[in-house]
């Protein structure tokens, strides 16, 4: 293909993929923005669990920062026209938010395990202030862990060709030749599989505890507490399952692409990665949809927020009065 117009895939693939990604962008940005606003605006939504969910929504919003650049690279992967810094920064943000999301899910699951299995201790150790501190630590750890991305990616061009027309945003030759790229892929893989192993055990313990204590909860609000625990665990379990389904192909595709030795596998790897790319952004957009489907409280808060937004944008209409000029007659909500 020509260096000034070099798509990775045919239009029959690029057009539907682009449409799907745009839909995911709209749903993800709208849903995650609503999640942040709901939890910040309404006092009864500011639980420790929802603080984690709000922070995860911010992470998902940042992930969508890289979607336009990914679509550009699908349609025209060379030349890269956005400069060295944006090449490094958008890949760094994507990697850092990947780590932040899985750390948030793990911390949130640990908190639910303590709240259900050790409720008395949880009341002492799990407070809003401590949860906010934990969230800051998780973000710091995730962003520091993704720091090597600044040194592993950059704008590269092919030798013996016009560098302005062959610029690509990709892993540098130094990262590939030195083995640092393989190391970073192993770090990313550990970030995914080790927390998923921990989550499997945590939800196993939680499920066993709820099953054994289903008839032991006492007190005037026993039924409500039991229902709340089950509802929370159900939502988190679905979030974790969606995360695993959406992100597993991403990690498999990354490892597959980095270890290709036969040209015949190159096409399969490319198409596998385009599917994993869509699942990657699906993961960043699906959580608010799951909250709406599974939580009546979230639906009520979302409906209340939408009403308040529409009310603040109300439009006054006027009609002509024969004696007093113009008078207000109605307000459109």
What are the residue ranges spanned by the domains of the chain?
11-305
Can you read off the two tokens belonging to residue 261?
A: 């030795």
Q: CA-based Rg of the chain, rounded to a whole angstrom?
A: 24
Q: Is the model's pLDDT at 316 over the cut of 50?
A: no
Q: Which helix (H) or strand (E) holds 278?
A: helix 264-294
| Cα-based distances in Å from 307 to 37, 47, 302, 330 | 13, 23, 9, 17
Q: Whole-angstrom Cα distance, residue 107 to residue 49?
A: 10
**How far is residue 172 CA from its own chain's centroid?**
26
Please tell me the least confidently modeled range out of 51-55, 95-99, 112-116. 112-116
304 vs 328, more confident: 304
Instruction: Read off the pLDDT of residues 11-50 as tens digits, 9 standing for 90 and up.
Output: 888 899 999 999 999 999 999 999 999 888 887 788 888 8
Q: What is the largest CA-CA distance in the chain?
A: 87
Nearest to 145 by CA among 179, 197, 98: 98
Q: Per CATH, is 11-305 categorized as 3.60.10.10? A: no
| pLDDT confidence tier of residue 257, bands split at 50, 70 and 90 | low
Sign for the CA dihedral angle at 65, 69, 72, 73 comes to negative
112 vs 27, more confident: 27
Q: Is the model's pLDDT at 299 over the cut of 50?
A: yes
Instruction: Read off the pLDDT of residues 122-156 as tens digits, 9 standing for 90 and up.
Output: 777 788 888 899 999 999 999 998 888 888 888 87
Q: Is the model's pLDDT at 266 over the cut of 50?
A: yes
User: Residue 284: which residues within 8 A CB-CB, separation 6 or more?
Assistant: 24, 28, 32, 60, 63, 64
pTM: 0.79
Instruction: Read off the pLDDT of residues 217-227 as tens digits, 9 standing for 90 and up.
Output: 555 555 666 66
Residue 128: exposed, middle, or buried by beta-carbon count in 10 A (0-12, 13-18, 19+)? Answer: exposed
């Amino acid at each position: 293909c020509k260096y000034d117009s070099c798509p990775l895939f045919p239009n029959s693939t690029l057009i539907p993929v682009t449409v799907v990604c745009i839909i995911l962008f709209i749903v993800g940005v709208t849903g995650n923005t609503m999640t942040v606003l709901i939890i910040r605006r309404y006092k009864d939504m500011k639980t420790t669990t929802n603080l984690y969910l709000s922070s995860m929504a911010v992470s998902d919003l940042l992930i969508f920062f890289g979607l336009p650049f990914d679509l550009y690279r699908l349609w025209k992967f060379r030349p890269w026209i956005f400069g060295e810094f944006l090449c490094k920064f958008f890949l760094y943000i994507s990697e850092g938010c990947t780590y932040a999301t899985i750390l948030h899910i793990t911390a949130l699951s640990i908190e639910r395990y303590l709240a259900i299995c050790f409720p008395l201790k949880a009341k002492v150790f799990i407070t809003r202030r401590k949860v906010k501190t934990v969230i800051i630590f998780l973000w710091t750890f995730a962003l520091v862990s993704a720091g090597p991305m600044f040194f592993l990616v950059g704008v590269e061009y092919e030798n013996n060709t016009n560098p302005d027309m062959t610029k690509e945003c990709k892993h540098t030759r130094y990262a590939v030749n030195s083995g640092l790229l393989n190391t970073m892929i192993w770090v990313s893989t550990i970030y995914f599989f080790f927390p998923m192993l921990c989550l499997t055990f945590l939800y196993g313990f939680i499920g066993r505890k709820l099953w054994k204590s289903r008839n032991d909860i006492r007190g005037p609000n026993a039924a409500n507490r039991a229902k709340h625990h089950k509802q929370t665990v159900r939502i988190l379990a679905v979030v974790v399952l969606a995360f695993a389904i959406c992100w597993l192909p991403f990690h498999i595709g990354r490892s597959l692409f980095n270890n290709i030795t036969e040209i015949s596998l190159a096409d399969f790897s490319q198409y596998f990665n385009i599917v994993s790319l869509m699942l990657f952004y699906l993961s960043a957009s699906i959580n608010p949809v799951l909250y709406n489907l599974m939580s009546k409280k979230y639906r009520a808060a979302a409906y209340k927020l939408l009403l308040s937004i529409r009310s603040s944008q109300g439009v006054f209409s006027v009609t002509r009065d024969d004696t007093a000029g113009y008078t207000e007659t109605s307000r459109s909500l």
